[in-house]
Structure 1
Amino acid sequence: GEGSVPNAAATAAVNHPVEQGLVQAFGVFLDTFIICTASAFIVLIVGDYSTTGLTGIALVQHNLAQQLGSWAPTAVAIFIVMFSFSSLIGNYYYGEINISHLTNKRFYLHLFRIGVILMTFVGSIASLDLVWNLADLFMAFLVLTNVSSIVRMGRTAGLALDDYIKQRKAGIETPVFNRSILNHTYGIVWWGDGQTTDSSVPPTPIEDTVEK
């Protein structure tokens, strides 16, 4: 729910934006309430968490080793490496796309790439506490940005959700979104008559999408 993957969600080919919104909401539920809670329950059920002096993933590995055997920590380590690498590539992609959207000067893109390399190096040698504290700090900025966007766009999202629900109640199996239901269409170049994000025909900008 921190707003770290709207970039990926925005590239989805759907007939209605609410379709992808529901997928994203389910992703938050699965990641936060299922996976994270499962990790916590593993530690709590085993019960050996107050005397080991371990924290975080090391504690989970220790408890899994007690229940499943010596192979469990290695399996968890492999999963973490795969998750970390895919997260690194994914977040780098988000950053590069955002910079390309803001400016076409390659200087800033090269600067970003150097920054990513430096931060990756520092993160690999710094203490775990420092890494997590920095991550929490940057996540706070991300949350503030996302919350401000949610507040400003909440009404628009609500209109889209209402439209999706109405179409489903009307028996439409695959609802199709049209921007005409919104209070304004500034900046929206898709979702016109017969248009969806999986259309092979380039969008035709409407008059009020052009900044005056």
Structure 2
Amino acid sequence: MAEFLGTINGYIWSNGLIYLCLAAGVYFSIRSRFVQVRQVPEMVRLMFRGEKSPSGVSSFQALAMSLSGRVGTGNIAGVATAIAFGGPGALFWMWAVAFLGASTSFVECTLGQIYKTRDPLTNEYRGGPAYYFSRAMAHTRAAPLFKIYGFIFAAVTVLACGLLLPSVQSNSMASAMNQAWGISTWVVAVGMIIVLAFVIIGGVKRIAAFAGVVVPFMAVAYIVMALIVVFSNASEIPGIVSTIFASAFGADAAFGAIIGAAVMWGVKRGVYSNEAGQGTGPHAAAAAEVSHPAKQGLVQAFAVYIDTLFICTATGFLILSTGAYRVFDGDTVTSPVLKDGGALPSDAAVGPTFAQVGIDTLWNGFGSSFIAISLAFFCLTTIIAYYYMAETNLRFILGKHSVVPVPVIRGTIGTNLTAVLQVLILVSVAVGAVSTASEAWTLGDIGVGLMAWLNIIGVIILQQPAYKALRDYERQKKSGLDPVFDPLALNIPGATFWETYDPTGGKDRAQTTV
């Protein structure tokens, strides 16, 4: 089975997907006139503005929900893996895919806001790739094809976020706790199930509230800790920067032979970490209460920077500056070792151990506990975000049928299948906690890759409304207005939510007049 999954993963994460991620980022950057550079001040301003309502969360809460999906084991174990199999140059390609991916994130998340709708079961805002695939072309002859495409994406996302991706997070968390405190992976699994059950059963509002408190606190604490360790080795920084850039382009003698691996692992782990183009960000973006879709598109673009340029970079410099790394000439730990940083024990596993040993070089014995605690929070919030995305796509698949009562069994189709989904994701967490790391990461990579293929191709076809929204937003801002979105004036069909939206009341006019 492991060999079969590895083969499938190899096909999905072929060079085609690597080039697609990079090329799409370049294309979206040019089409948006490098919105990820021009609008950075506006991104920061919008993060802390915006209103929430009974149906939607605030811009900051939506950002936190999005970051809770982005900031996870990929920021620690993922960076370590990229360096182990791609060399220090992989970190440069993670930066590259983040810079380009910020424009991709803007486009996909703006589309998520434009084509959002209300959940017929809870009245909360819902949106994402499945929604914009099915709605953006609803007025054209291609409508049936795109509706099917939306259902395919939704099914893949339920599978990936409900079963495949949670196992990676729980595996890293259980492994880190086992190494730090000797806690059995089964005990960790039970603890995760209890916490997760409490949060996810509470719905979108509880998820947003939990993420809004935990994610910012842990992200700042982790970055500060990493910077303390890095600056304690300040003399190493110039050499690290030089090595990263040289090995990224094959100019470093030690890593020149693995330049292809540097690109592949950098892009692969970069996309896994910041999720730009993967199609996960638009789900959280659509939940925000904003007066214009471009507002949340800009906020979500900045989330890519937070994830990769801040947190992943902190991990990379922590590992490299302390020598807590080992680079292999191949994709497995059985491959020959190209270079050993010198700080790792001979039996150290690729993953969180790299960061744990790095911190231990400054405070012996503290690294294991700190990384275990960091991963506990990062992984829990990421799993919760995965559940929200899986639930959103389940709602899309069910549509109006989600409110249909179930004979004999109490509740509706939507509430009963949501309960089944909650059980499945908890089972996935338990299985992932006791699985091997390689099995968990392979399943996670398959889930990420399938979503990325479907979403990026679809967004390339549907991108035009995002640019119309961006130009409209910038025009209104230039006139001194607080931008309000009117899809009819911009000739954007299918944005039915916005056609009746009342920006003064946080509800649509149709609801207000009832």
* Category of TM-score, reference length = shorter chain: 0.7 to 0.9
The alpha-carbon deviation at position 187 of structure 1 amounts to 4.3
Indicate how the Cα distance of structure 1 residues 137 and 115 shifts in structure 2: closer, same or farther if over 3 A, else same.
same
Whether 1:134 aligns to 2:440 is no
Whether 1:125 aligns to 2:398 is no
Indicate how the Cα distance of structure 1 residues 89 and 99 shifts in structure 2: closer, same or farther if over 3 A, else same.
same
Instruction: Tell me what 1:13 maps to.
Output: 289
Which digits, 9 at most, give the CA deviation of each residue in 1:30-60, with x for residues without a partner? 1022211211111111123224244221101
| Identical pairs, percent | 28
Instruction: Tell me what 2:324 maps to.
Output: 48
Q: Specify the SS of the correspondent of 1:98.
A: helix
Alignment of 1:161-172 (within 5 A): 161-172=470-481
Whether 1:31 aligns to 2:307 is yes
Structure 2 residue runs of 5 or longer lacking an equivalent are: 1-275, 326-339, 403-412
AA at the equivalent of 2:484: V
- Among 386, 397, 421, the residue aligned to 1:91: 386
Alignment of 1:1-212 (within 5 A): 1=276, 2-49=278-325, 50=340, 51=342, 52=344, 53-103=348-398, 104=402, 105-106=413-414, 108-172=417-481, 174-192=482-500, 195-196=502-503, 199-204=505-510
Q: Partners in 1 of 2:301 and 2:506 — Cα distance?
A: 27
Q: Partners in 1 of 2:502 and 2:493 — Cα distance?
A: 14
Which digits, 9 at most, give the CA deviation of each residue in 1:165-211, with x for residues without a partner? 11122232x2121112433322422255x733x73443439xxxxxx
Structural RMSD (CA):
2.2
Q: Partners in 2 of 1:84 and 1:203 — Cα distance?
A: 40
- 1:189–1:203: 8 Å Cα contact kept in structure 2? no
AA at the equivalent of 2:494: Y
Q: Partners in 2 of 1:57 and 1:166 — Cα distance?
A: 46
Indicate how the Cα distance of structure 1 residues 147 and 95 shifts in structure 2: closer, same or farther if over 3 A, else same.
same
AA at the equivalent of 2:492: H
- 1:190–1:203: 8 Å Cα contact kept in structure 2? no
The alpha-carbon deviation at position 130 of structure 1 amounts to 0.9
Q: Partners in 2 of 1:72 and 1:48 — Cα distance?
A: 12
- 1:189–1:204: 8 Å Cα contact kept in structure 2? no
- 1:42–1:63: 8 Å Cα contact kept in structure 2? yes
The alpha-carbon deviation at position 160 of structure 1 amounts to 0.3
Instruction: Tell me what 1:210 maps to.
Output: none
Q: Partners in 2 of 1:98 and 1:178 — Cα distance?
A: 26
The alpha-carbon deviation at position 110 of structure 1 amounts to 4.2
Q: Specify the SS of the correspondent of 2:463.
A: helix
AA at the equivalent of 1:83: F
- 1:18–1:160: 8 Å Cα contact kept in structure 2? yes
Q: Partners in 2 of 1:110 and 1:129 — Cα distance?
A: 30
Aligned residues: 202
Q: Partners in 1 of 2:490 and 2:417 — Cα distance?
A: 36
- 1:159–1:181: 8 Å Cα contact kept in structure 2? no
Indicate how the Cα distance of structure 1 residues 48 and 66 shifts in structure 2: closer, same or farther if over 3 A, else same.
same
Instruction: Tell me what 1:208 maps to.
Output: none
How does the TM-score come out when normalised to structure 2? 0.37
> Which range is displaced more, 63-72 or 102-111?
102-111
Q: Partners in 2 of 1:109 and 1:171 — Cα distance?
A: 44
Q: Partners in 2 of 1:25 and 1:110 — Cα distance?
A: 33
AA at the equivalent of 2:290: V
Higher relative contact order (CA 8 A, sep 6+): 2
> Which range is displaced more, 5-14 or 17-26?
5-14
The alpha-carbon deviation at position 120 of structure 1 amounts to 1.2
Indicate how the Cα distance of structure 1 residues 75 and 191 shifts in structure 2: closer, same or farther if over 3 A, else same.
farther
Q: Specify the SS of the correspondent of 1:44.
A: helix
> Which range is displaced more, 110-119 or 18-27?
110-119
Q: Partners in 1 of 2:496 and 2:458 — Cα distance?
A: 16
Which digits, 9 at most, give the CA deviation of each residue in 1:66-117, with x for residues without a partner? 1244223212211110111122122112212321232122454344233213
How does the TM-score come out when normalised to structure 1? 0.85
